Amino acid sequence: MDASKLRYRIKIMSRVVTQDSYGQNVISWVLLAELWANVMAIRGREFFAAAQVNAENTVKFTIRYRADITALNRIEYDNKAYDITGVVPLEGRKDWLELIAIEGIKDGK
């Protein structure tokens, strides 16, 4: 991977769970890191569920290696949220990291 291909600015968000005054969990997202990345669309599809047409886009983000990013994090890019579904070191080395993510968010927050 050539570092000159890291042209897009992304944010890695970390999930924080706190409790409100009623003891209910409140989920919020805080900035873990703002990074340069290569962004590549992998797949897009439309499907019918719950009496409506839905779209799902899978995107691959390539960044410099970081040990603190997991599938529990989220990516914000181009004013959209992406749930991370895979974290893969490239070529078995710790130079680059591929983050496979699906546009949209699972927990509705």
C-alpha 96, offset from chain centre: 16
pLDDT band at 55 (very low <50, low <70, confident <90, very high): low
**Does the domain spanning 3-103 belong to CATH 3.40.220.10?**
no
User: If you average pLDDT over residues 91-103, what whole number do you get?
Assistant: 84
pLDDT tens, 63-83?
A: 999 999 999 999 999 999 999
Find out whether 87 and 70 touch, Cβ atoms under 8 Å. Answer: yes
Give me the residue spans of the domains in the chain: 3-103
The predicted pLDDT at position 52 comes to 52
Gap between the Cα atoms of 4 and 93, Å rounded: 19
Dihedral angle of Cα 54, 76, 17, 72, to the nearest 10 degrees: 80
**Residue that wins the pLDDT comparison between 16 and 47:** 16
